[in-house]
Structure 1
């Protein structure tokens, strides 16, 4: 452990959340504490739900349900933790977390490094609500780490300078590079939330087209979400339920098993009605690291991680027919399928490994501490 001490701030209300935080806890070479409980986090990792409930109730009584007074109580507790722990830098999991803690950190002269995952600057309502606080974060001793290149111009428009921006998508963990896909399986796999941004109905329509040419193909569809029932209903309407297996939410171990018995990874990401868009989808990074060719859309950070015609195929958003064509093309050309998969494994290893991402975040923290 080095002398630099950081606080990892995650806005999970009941517990620390997110792939980013888990990897930072494990791999960053600094002394660290983890805080959660809201956009201004004030619980240590390990705080029981009973303890959380007691403190929340006590703060509610002290503030007389006055939101401004409650916010001040939470901010003061957050500041006291930073002072007590002698924190040198706060690493925020989201940019709106970074902007929410900015005032407290500025009062203590503690720099902030903040991830930018996408929804903070792509989703219209979130951007509008936080725009002024983002500008204040840009004017402070802060560094932002966007996970997709298309976020950089938006960050500059807000006011972040070139030297405050370090592009670094989350990388694939080492165990995914050890996977050996089953290229002869004719199995497609999709892993992600059943939500508007992932357009699961487009995925089903594309797969339905595949079945007309490749009747032995199968789709393993993992995840949960608000569009699950709609997706399941479409499968029933198309009478393809024998070819689609809904796996539910999967653990990392189950995810590795799914990739191991599949040949091709698919994901039809689209920009939502509110303007929300993907950053760099971790599931695509991990599938490509595992050696699966990708069929996806020209969307968000996906264009940075899939080389069209070399590690997979990209189609326009909502063009499920062309997506189906590309899926058929790969199934009918097994040599190309395997070649794309191996190209992807090499490309992700060289450019998007977890090790590389951690090195970039470490670099950002060192730079921030010296601002």
Structure 2
């Protein structure tokens, strides 16, 4: 948190809309945690995935908490957008009549291509708007990622959403997206959006550099459920193996190729290594080729995507967590990585990089080590040091657990988030009252 000051509680249930790209997404448990936190604290939640080409992940693999809280019943999907433009127009006409009883005519302002350009004449805005017809009036509209804040602003202008607009910046939206679309993409959002959050100080400062009012943005980190990640003192396994693990999407910014190269160099000396990589993504084939080229297929294994319970079990059987993150060529960067927090909560010492928001989480030499990005030799040296000094695992693991409990416990963060919502709603109510008095 920053200098945000809490005032007396609002003492009433709020109606909160979460605007997301897709739902559920296996790699975005941080969004699920916030949604569940609001529900547990007595608030009504509506989830609006406004991605129009992709739906939710395989429902057989979704996080169990989504089933437990029946979140799909509170999720309002937009109709899929046909690729064929003629079929897209015909389907839009059909949707207009099918949803007429729910006010589909109110979606027509989204077709103003003079104002909204390509997003309007492509019908993307119209299709997304249909998914918002379930309800309009909210106390809080919380947009997960900056670009969704800009879209929600359009829908608020059109009368399809009403409420205090909160936008969270999480990484690519203030890094690679800026490289692609320019530093002006949030100019209007920074003026008309009500409040902003960033998941680390690194991205907060980036948003301020782009034009966000420093008085309207705070740091609110992504939390984890520390109770789910039971602390386990690190020690060498009875079979003598040293088990390394990385958990993350197989994309450039995770730097996994550098982890593989470092382990491959160490494999010539240390024959008891085992390196498991959990996650999936566009680089899977190229990483598998790299493993084969380096002839370490017997040591390095790509396990694919796993749900949280499977990840917890794998972490509990590991000795050292690697997160060799890098700034991607696109500019994409990472905040304090949730999988790093999970590993530290379990008690694993970590080796990571001086990248993005990671130094806000990992204390170099205390809970692990940080090395320069893309530096295979430095990465290898710190892994080797960790292997050679297992007596330090316990103290590093304890320090990591303490750090996560202090800064990233989901219950504490959800309490703070709901207080923020309450203060924003209270401020809105007081503003309306003042307006009525002076009218």
TM-score by length of 1: 0.88
Do the aligned partners of 1:2 and 1:31 also contact (CA within 8 Å) in 2?
A: no
Distance 1:49 1:95 in 2: 20
Per the TM alignment, residue 325 of structure 1 is displaced from its structure 2 partner at its CA by 0.8
Per the TM alignment, residue 272 of structure 1 is displaced from its structure 2 partner at its CA by 0.9
Query: 1:200 maps to what in 2?
Result: 256
Query: 2:174 maps to what in 1?
Result: 121
Do the aligned partners of 1:5 and 1:87 also contact (CA within 8 Å) in 2?
A: yes
Instruction: For residues 234-283 of structure 1, give each alpha carbon's deviation from its aligned partner in whole angstroms, at most 9, with x where no partner exists.
Output: 22222222222222111111101111100110011001111111122111
Distance 1:250 1:276 in 2: 23
Query: 1:349 maps to what in 2?
Result: 405
Q: In structure 2, the residue corresponding to 1:8 is in which secondary structure?
A: strand
Distance 2:282 2:236 in 1: 33
Matches within 5 A, 1:66-85: 68=120, 70-71=123-124, 73-74=126-127, 77=130, 80-83=133-136
Instruction: For residues 109-162 of structure 1, give each alpha carbon's deviation from its aligned partner in whole angstroms, at most 9, with x where no partner exists.
Output: 521112211000100x45553754512111124222211211122211222222
Matches within 5 A, 1:1-371: 2-12=12-22, 15-17=23-25, 18-28=28-38, 29=41, 30-38=43-51, 45-46=72-73, 52-53=79-80, 58-59=91-92, 68=120, 70-71=123-124, 73-74=126-127, 77=130, 80-83=133-136, 86-106=137-157, 110-123=163-176, 125-126=177-178, 129=181, 131-180=183-232, 182-185=234-237, 186-369=242-425, 370-371=427-428
Stretches of structure 2 that go unaligned for 5 or more consecutive residues are 1-10, 57-70, 83-87, 97-107, 429-439
Do the aligned partners of 1:221 and 1:246 also contact (CA within 8 Å) in 2?
A: yes
RMSD, aligned CA: 3.2
Q: Determine which structure has more spread, i.e. the larger CA radius of gyration.
A: 2
Distance 1:129 1:358 in 2: 32
Per the TM alignment, residue 308 of structure 1 is displaced from its structure 2 partner at its CA by 0.2
Q: In structure 1, the residue corresponding to 2:280 is in which secondary structure?
A: coil
Change (3 A) 1:176 1:239: same
Per the TM alignment, residue 105 of structure 1 is displaced from its structure 2 partner at its CA by 2.3
Q: In structure 2, the residue corresponding to 1:114 is in which secondary structure?
A: strand
Change (3 A) 1:312 1:51: closer
Aligned residues: 366
Distance 1:11 1:359 in 2: 25
Distance 2:281 2:308 in 1: 18
Change (3 A) 1:79 1:211: closer
Per the TM alignment, residue 359 of structure 1 is displaced from its structure 2 partner at its CA by 2.6
